[in-house]
Chain A
Amino acid sequence: MAESHGGAKAPATDAHTEADGGHHAGAFPPFESSTFASQLVSLAIFFVLLYVIVSKLALPKVGGAIEARQNKIEGDLAEAQTLKDQSEAALKAYEGELASARSRAQAIGNESRDKANAQAEAERKTLEDQLAAKLAEAEKTIASTRATAMSNVRGIAADAAGTIVQQLTGVVPDTASVNAAVDASLKG
């Protein structure tokens, strides 16, 4: 393979050299020193040009775009965080408000219930007092009526006892002793 390759190469190079007007004396092109100066000059020109374009224009532009995107993303994230915090704060405030409203409602309910209870209690008390007063009055009336009745009963009993003793003995008993005897039996 190497021979056939070498054999094919040699005449081709010759043919090329002839066609080219003898610029390349058949040397291996990368080692042909006559082309070095041209290559170095063009490399210097174009590499410096590239360096200037890259350092002054390209990298600031692309780097700026990347940085702008980074900043935008970070800004958006920060904004989202702020909004989230705000909504959480609002939720917390709402829940606090709800809880306080609930406790206030409970307090109002308790207060009105207590008030109603107290009023009912007071009314009951006055009613009981009135009833008690009426009861006491009634008892007093009963007691006086009873006492009156009892004193009447004593008179009747003394009269009856005197009459009974007169009927049995024919002697009119002494009023004082009859009374004493009636009192003793009433007491007994």
Chain B
Amino acid sequence: MKIDPIHQFNIEPLFTLGHIGNHTIAFTNSSLYMLVAVAIISILMLASGSQLVPGRLQSVAEISYEFVASTIRSTAGTEGMKFFPLVFSLFMFLCVSNLVGVIPYTFTISSHLIVTVALALLVFFTVLIYGVAKNGLKFFKIFVPHGVPGYILPLVMFIEVLSFFLRPVSHSVRLFANMLAGHIALKVFAGFVAMLGFSLGAIGWVGGVLPLALTISLYALEILVAFLQAYVFAILTCIYLNDAIHPGH
């Protein structure tokens, strides 16, 4: 019995789309699950009707809408609603793809650093470009906190600048590492069950109960993490956008 907890992260090209330079651009399993996520979100949001008294699907769509809207309002204020489509897209894309990824035999898009980095950089540059375009040089007041004594200010500014530019790193690695580690742990513990059963016979079947119980509880945790990391990504996006909208707070 072979256990390969890494196999689930393999990118399998399904067909080739074209070439950019010497890179082959392929429609991969990752692309397929992105398509699935977009399709699920579209169906949820568009096929759910607009009744006065909502049905189940419409309730889910409206709860998602209200949830993201209230998250933005509470962290970035009413002006943050400008970025509602962006935050909503990010949250729903990650939440749906993470939840789909928890299903066995599926692929998790956000278990690849390149994807989370791309999304985190999208947020980073949105904050930077919007912040400078809206506030001009006043945007850089976010690096100068209020009430810091002059002699310590250079150090604080250095730390603030550093942390600002490290934001995309923490923003992307948090999501990537959570999804990756969770899926590996799940696979390893699930693998133990099969491994014990195949190698030790009856004793192994009895011994497999413990890793099975762990797998079940980890699975529940992973469902929570799948939602939570999407939420964390979205709320951090809101907090970063708040800096662009209200610098100097």
Contact = CB atoms under 8 A, between A and B. Distances in A.
A58 B42 CA distance: 7
A29 B111 CA distance: 10
A50 B41 contact: yes
Contacts of B42: 50, 53, 58
Interface in B161-184: 176, 180
Interface of B: 2-7, 9-13, 17, 20, 23-28, 30-31, 34-35, 37-38, 41-42, 45-46, 48, 50-52, 54, 58, 61-62, 65-66, 84-86, 88-89, 92-93, 109, 111-115, 118-119, 122, 176, 180, 188, 191, 195
B85 A55 contact: yes
9 contacts: A5-B5, A29-B6, A38-B24, A41-B17, A43-B109, A47-B93, A49-B38, A53-B41, A63-B65
Given A23-B13, A65-B62, A46 B6 contact: no
B160 to A, nearest CB: 30
A64 B118 CA distance: 32
A31 B62 contact: no
A58 B46 contact: yes
B2 A37 contact: no
A117 to B, nearest CB: 70
Chain A interface category by residue count? 35 or more
Given A43-B118, A47-B93, A66-B65, A16 B86 contact: no
B190 to A, nearest CB: 13
A42 interface: yes
A16 B2 CA distance: 11
Given A20-B10, A58-B41, 7 more contacts: A28-B9, A31-B113, A41-B25, A47-B89, A53-B38, A54-B41, A69-B52
Given A42-B27, A46-B34, A5 B113 contact: no
A39 B30 contact: yes
Nearest to B22: A37
Given A11-B2, A12-B7, A36 B85 contact: no
Nearest to A46: B34
A24 B11 CA distance: 9
Contacts, number: 160
Contacts of A64: 50
Given A38-B13, A57-B46, A13 B6 contact: yes
A29 B5 CA distance: 11
B45 A54 contact: yes
Contacts of B85: 51, 54-55, 59
B4 A12 contact: yes
A57 B34 CA distance: 19
Nearest to B93: A50
Nearest to A33: B114
A120 interface: no
A53 B99 CA distance: 20
Contacts of A51: 85-86, 89
A113 interface: no
B35 A12 contact: no
A46 B115 CA distance: 12
Query: Which of A12, A30, A51, A63 has most B Cβ within 10 Å?
Result: A30
B36 to A, nearest CB: 10
Contacts of A30: 9, 111-114, 176, 180
Nearest to B17: A41
A29 B114 CA distance: 11
A9 interface: yes
Nearest to B54: A65
B93 A39 contact: no
Nearest to B53: A69
Contacts of A40: 114, 118
